[in-house]
Structure 1
Amino acid sequence: MIFRRPHFTEYIMARLVTLGVFTGFFFSTLLYIFIPETDIAFSAIALLIAGFTIFIYAINRGARRMQNELRLINKYLENLEKTEKIDYKAHFFTQEFEDINQNLIKVLDSAKKREEIKQRYNAKLKLKNRQRADMISAIAHEFRNPIASIMGYAQTLEEDKEIPHALQEKFLNKIYNNGVKIEALLSRLVLWNKFESGEATLHPSQFDLYTLAQEVKTSLEEKYPQREIVLQGSSHMVEADRTLLEIVLKNLIENALKYSKDEVVVTIDKGHISVIDKGLGISSSDINKVTKKFYRSGTHSWDNSMGLGLSIVKRILELHGTELEIQSEEEKGSTFSFTL
């Protein structure tokens, strides 16, 4: 038979019974020797045995209660990771067991807090991994077309030496424009990385907001020669980061040009800037999503250059202590505005 360690009650009872038998035998012998009357001697021995029996029974009950308390504590320890809570109202037979129970409660609470922290960390890690996968997917999506165009035009120029000079110039111009697009995408990634790492800082200066809008208007009209940008308003001095606000205006106006066919109107009224278009518009369910990084609407493919354009605008405006306001109606157009 395999040796098994005794339970607490079994151990206590074995010791008590052994001690009781030897002690009872010893005192019974003494009583029998020193009491001449046999009846009195047997009565005394019977009372001694009854006393020992009551004593052992009382010890047995206490030992069983202590054993049950030990089992309860051991059950908590065995299922520490699965146990949701400990019975805080449990009353223990001795102060030592009560102290063990209280310490066990502290251990369980601490373990649960560590588990919650671990779960939050894992959730953040999963989110970061998902965002990283989204970024890789967005980069691959945005870079594929310009790279394919560059390779296609370059291969044509290399294989066909008889291409007319005018067509060569056109192909080279296409290659250059796609290279510029890739450079712009990379710049946008670098800027977003600065926002993510907290390295982006403001370099404020005083400048005329209307003059800046005029410069952005001129730049985009060269890029979109068939489109019209109407600038309304008057001179207004502000103190802000001129470079970052130029990115904001360029992003908002270029988005309006991409997603509308009519003129784009830019108004400046005492520090309140609005970019208005009569384009596709945005559904009410998408308005709160278009400023999220990597967001792409399934309805109108709001790619915004890897889904970072409006997200960058939002972060720049937050650095300036303001926010982007969007009003839009599908098939009627959108208004993007902010106040400095």
Structure 2
Amino acid sequence: MFSKPKFTEYVMARLVTLGVFLFILFSVLIVVVMQEREDILLSIVLLGIAFAIFIFSIFRGAKRMQNELEVINRYLKNLDEIEKIDYETRFFTREFEEINENLIRVLKSAKKREDIKQRYNAKLKLKNRQRADMLSAIAHEFRNPIASIMGYSQTLQEDPNIPKVLQEKFLGKVYNNGQKIEDLLSRLILWNKFESGEATLHKSSFSILSLANEVKMVLQEAYKDREVEIIGEDRMMKADRTLIELVLKNLIENALKYSKDIVTVKIEDDRISVIDKGTGISEKDLGKVTKKFYRSGTHNWDNSMGLGLSIVKTILTLHGSRLDIESKLEEGSTFSFGL
């Protein structure tokens, strides 16, 4: 099958054809005009040398241009594999130089779009993985309370002669598990607002001691056999009271879940800390517990779909603060943030 010639081949074929024709033409004219044989031979030889030098010079220039165009073509052909474009133009004419520069700009622009596309695909894969983790976490977290509700409800339905005290106990269990599902849904909705950037702060001035006592009372209804102590003097805080309440509730509840001794809430001049003497967090898990959907293999840290501490971290960031964690295995943990 016929293939098109390369740039140098095309130029040389035309140039050699034209050169041979002109050489023969001028040789005939020299023979006709000149009389001396030696002068004729010398003139023809010099003419041949001049044509050869001219053709060779054109060949070098054409070859150089072809090499430059091949480099550009190589860029275009292997754009996905090129890590960096670093190429200087070296053409003889302004037109070819401009073509080369424009192609380089096109390549850089295409490479930039490719990088953006790859970053977008990486983010999309991460989002899909997080979505899969979230669905798995939702299924895991909702399974137990739903199974409990169904179990207690079925028992009440099948045995109408259950004693009144036991009926009330079972109904209380149904209510508590329903409340767990409500809490899980609330966290999921709040996390979705943070992810979409829809969450807004409604700041007000309030007593941090009063808020801590309110959270303590709510949690001690669920953890009746546990003690939460609050030490330190009261401070006024200007922040979103509802969100800071959620921060304290998450931190204190985590402390209650993963420790057996008393949980201490310490209020200082510029910091509030939640201290427990529980299982602690390993050093390798310490930097991961605030990540979305993270669940430790040894301790089920950050319960409720792995969003609790992630939400705490986000809320504090919105307030210009941060969550600091100090922990040692089997010694306990301290979760604190600046006021």
**Bin of the TM-score, shorter chain as denominator length:** 0.7 to 0.9
Q: State which of 48, 51, 62 in structure 1 corresponds to 2:47.
A: 51
Deviation for aligned residue 1:100: 3.1
CA distance in 2, matches of 1:59, 1:34: 26
1:77 aligns with 2:73: yes
CA distance in 2, matches of 1:21, 1:331: 95
- The SS at the match of 2:286 is coil
Alignment match, 2:58: 62
Deviation for aligned residue 1:185: 0.5
- The SS at the match of 2:266 is strand
Mapping 1:251-330, distance limit 5 Å: 251-330=250-329
Residues 17/293 of structure 1: CA separation in 2 closer, same or farther (3 Å cut): closer
Alpha-carbon deviations, 1:53-110, whole Å to 9, x = none?
5314422442354134224413432442134456735633444333333333323322
TM-score with structure 1 setting the length: 0.88
CA distance in 2, matches of 1:236, 1:102: 65
CA distance in 2, matches of 1:296, 1:210: 31
CA distance in 2, matches of 1:23, 1:237: 100
Deviation for aligned residue 1:112: 2.4
Give the CA RMSD over aligned residues. Answer: 2.6
CA distance in 2, matches of 1:6, 1:285: 63
- The SS at the match of 2:274 is strand
CA distance in 2, matches of 1:9, 1:207: 82
Alpha-carbon deviations, 1:294-321, whole Å to 9, x = none?
1111121214211111111111122222
CA distance in 1, matches of 2:38, 2:11: 29
Alignment match, 1:163: 162
Deviation for aligned residue 1:238: 2.1
Residues 193/68 of structure 1: CA separation in 2 closer, same or farther (3 Å cut): same
CA distance in 2, matches of 1:141, 1:254: 20
Alignment match, 1:333: 332
Structure 1, 112-121 or 72-81: larger mean CA deviation: 72-81
Alpha-carbon deviations, 1:216-259, whole Å to 9, x = none?
11111111111111122333222221111111111111111111
Alignment match, 1:212: 211
CA distance in 2, matches of 1:34, 1:225: 125
Alignment match, 1:223: 222
Residues 49/263 of structure 1: CA separation in 2 closer, same or farther (3 Å cut): same
CA distance in 1, matches of 2:12, 2:291: 72
TM-score with structure 2 setting the length: 0.88
CA distance in 1, matches of 2:191, 2:61: 66
Structure 1, 59-68 or 317-326: larger mean CA deviation: 59-68
Amino acid at match of 2:223: Y
Structure 1, 247-256 or 95-104: larger mean CA deviation: 95-104
1:185 aligns with 2:184: yes
Alignment match, 2:108: 109
The answer to whether the 8 Å contact 1:31/1:41 transfers is no
- The SS at the match of 1:286 is helix
CA distance in 2, matches of 1:284, 1:90: 54
Residues 5/175 of structure 1: CA separation in 2 closer, same or farther (3 Å cut): same
Alignment match, 1:240: 239
The answer to whether the 8 Å contact 2:23/2:51 transfers is no
The answer to whether the 8 Å contact 1:24/1:49 transfers is no
CA distance in 2, matches of 1:109, 1:275: 53
- The SS at the match of 1:285 is helix
Amino acid at match of 1:143: F
Deviation for aligned residue 1:199: 1.5
The number of residue pairs the alignment matches comes to 336
Question: Over alpha carbons, which structure has the higher Rg?
Answer: 1
Structure 1, 13-22 or 217-226: larger mean CA deviation: 13-22
The answer to whether the 8 Å contact 1:31/1:44 transfers is yes
Deviation for aligned residue 1:4: 3.9
Residues 87/48 of structure 1: CA separation in 2 closer, same or farther (3 Å cut): farther
Consecutive unaligned residues of structure 1, counting only runs of 5 or more, are none
Alignment match, 1:203: 202
Structure 1, 178-187 or 3-12: larger mean CA deviation: 3-12
